[in-house]
Amino acid sequence: MHFIIDNRPDDWTQLEQMYDKSGKYRMDYIKSKSDSNENNQDNENSSKNNN
């Protein structure tokens, strides 16, 4: 599903209208994606500080 959200937004819109009218799945995915990006940035910064 993540691929569809990221790369095929028109298809995702159709699926969302049928199966996730509240948009909860997309919001959970976006939140987890942003949390993951923040963790990756924190790891990169700590690696740079250790060198």
Instruction: In whole angstroms, give the CA distance from residue 51 to residue 34.
Output: 26
**Residue 24, domain member (yes or no):** yes
User: By residue range, what is the domain housing residue 17?
Assistant: 1-33
Provide the 10 A C-beta neighbour count for residue 48.
8
Question: How far apart are the two ends of the chain, measured CA to CA in Å?
Answer: 38
Q: One digit per residue, pLDDT tens: the chain, 51 residues? A: 889 989 999 999 999 999 999 999 989 998 998 888 777 766 665 655 555
**Residue 51, domain member (yes or no):** no
**Residue 47, domain member (yes or no):** no
**Residue 21, domain member (yes or no):** yes
**Residue 41, domain member (yes or no):** no
Structurally, how many domains does the chain consist of? Answer: 1
**Residue 40, domain member (yes or no):** no
pLDDT at 33: 87
pLDDT at 44: 62
**Residue 27, domain member (yes or no):** yes
pLDDT at 18: 95
**Residue 13, domain member (yes or no):** yes
Stated pTM of the model: 0.56
pLDDT at 13: 92
